A = this chain, B = another copy of it.
Amino acid sequence: MRYGVNYTPSTGWFYHWLDFRPDDLARDLDTVAELGVDHIRIFPLWPVIQPHRTLIRERALADVETLIEVAGQRGLDVSVDGLQGHLSSFDFLPAWLSTWHRRNLFTDPTVIESTAAYLRRLAEACSQHPNVFALTIGNEVNQFTGDLHPQPFPATSEQAGLWAQTMIDALHEGAPALPALQACYDATWYNPTQPFTPTQAATIGDITAVHSWVFNGTAQLYGADSFPTQAHARYLVELARAFQVDPHRPVWLQEVGVPRNVIAPEQADAFMEATFANLNGAPDLFGITWWASHDVDPALEDFPPLEYSLGLIDQAGKVKPEGRKFAALIDHARRTASAAAEPRPEPPTEDPRPILPLDLDRVGGRTGLAPGGVFWTMYMRQARTAHPRIVIEGAPHA
């Protein structure tokens, strides 16, 4: 079980790729390592590495490798996302996809080929470093399509799935030994118009990633201190597992955080504690990676307000109360796990928990899975006693 943070550099946010200074990053990661985490997730800016369709900048790849090394020197493993792409409301897209060169990220054959080339090269570079443990296509690439949000690149679910598999293949070609995965924001699970589907999320690549953000309506509907808000991350983990073909495929809670727009500072402790408690016992949970390491610099205006306070560490490099809480929760979880591991025999291969059947057609499709939906409500009712195992019934779904 891995514990880590999504690394948001304190100086220059992700623009640090344009002003790459390893010393700044080293100072950040010294503090990150103090939290007791074993890994960070990092986010190269795609247009900085591949500013032209046929130009992949060697120096930018070298910078990624340097950051990986700086992390390694502090005992931190690294997961690398490729297509950023989307980061905290900002979309970094290369000029070769816009205006005169407008082409669909997900469906244009030339774009697909060139994007795959980028991921292949990035994977190759990452594979040189023993502390890299996973590669993600890109952060919430599904933000670029669907009806819910600005959608520069329409795609059908078939096109989305084909694209995701092609990108996974590229990562595997570049780094055959590394797990590769895709990362979707929760429209995949909750929104019927989102082309990237739950089944794709749960079957393409080697790990299923879920991103748990309770500002998605959960905290607004139920309250910051409510059970559904505190169990939201676990629910996504169980929902993801239900769509998997391989029941033991790892599920990674790749993003979870305390958004200040729906959780007050004095509620943060309880939210974090209960989120961990609810995740306790989730089978084959790969890891918990908190968003984020550092607060965003207020001098960088225009972010949604909540983004400025998501850090476990403040702008000055001081660990915040949330950071201390996270460190304590990791420590406690590790000690409990190691105490439990000793006397206990091999776990049963069959999940012994009570079953909650899910028939997508009967619950109204993905809308029924969303906060307040039919299935969601059934799950939350049953989970108060014990988190059930969700088992899909009825027609198979793409």
* Chain A residues packing against B (C-beta within 8 Å): 12-13, 15, 18-19, 48, 51-55, 57, 59-60, 89-93, 95-96, 98-102, 149-150, 152, 299-302
Contacts and interface: CB of A to CB of B under 8 A. Distances in A.
Q: Which of A52, A91, A98, A149 has its CB near the most chain B CB atoms (within 10 A)?
A: A52
B101 A95 contact: no
A37 to B, nearest CB: 27
Contacts of A12: 55
Question: Closest 3 interchain pairs by CB?
Answer: A91-B99, A99-B150, A90-B95
B53 A100 contact: no
Contacts of A100: 89-91, 149-150
Nearest to A53: B302
A51 B18 contact: yes
A19 B57 contact: yes
Given A18-B60, A57-B18, A59-B19, A52 B99 contact: no
A18 B15 CA distance: 12
Contacts of A60: 18
A92 B95 CA distance: 6
A96 B101 contact: no
B15 A300 contact: no
Nearest to A96: B302
A142 to B, nearest CB: 13
Stoichiometry, as copies per complex, reads 2
Contacts of A55: 12, 15, 299-300
**Secondary structure call for the A interface:** loop
A24 B334 CA distance: 54
A102 B51 CA distance: 21
19 contacts: A15-B52, A18-B51, A18-B57, A18-B60, A19-B59, A52-B300, A52-B301, A54-B299, A54-B302, A55-B300, A89-B101, A90-B95, A90-B100, A90-B101, A91-B99, A92-B95, A96-B302, A100-B149, A102-B150
Contacts of A13: 52
A23 B25 CA distance: 29
Contacts of A51: 15, 18
A96 B90 contact: yes
Nearest to A51: B15
A40 to B, nearest CB: 22
B302 A101 contact: yes
A201 to B, nearest CB: 22
A221 to B, nearest CB: 23
A139 B162 CA distance: 39
A300 to B, nearest CB: 5
Contact of A91 (B48, B89, B95): B95
Given A19-B57, A90-B101, 6 more contacts: A18-B57, A53-B301, A54-B302, A55-B299, A55-B300, A100-B149
A111 B384 CA distance: 49
A98 B47 CA distance: 14
A234 B122 CA distance: 50
Q: Which of A54, A89, A99 has its CB near the most chain B CB atoms (within 10 A)?
A: A99
B89 A98 contact: no
Contacts of A59: 19
A21 to B, nearest CB: 10
Nearest to A14: B51
Given A19-B57, A57-B18, A52 B98 contact: no
Contacts of A18: 18, 48, 51, 57, 60
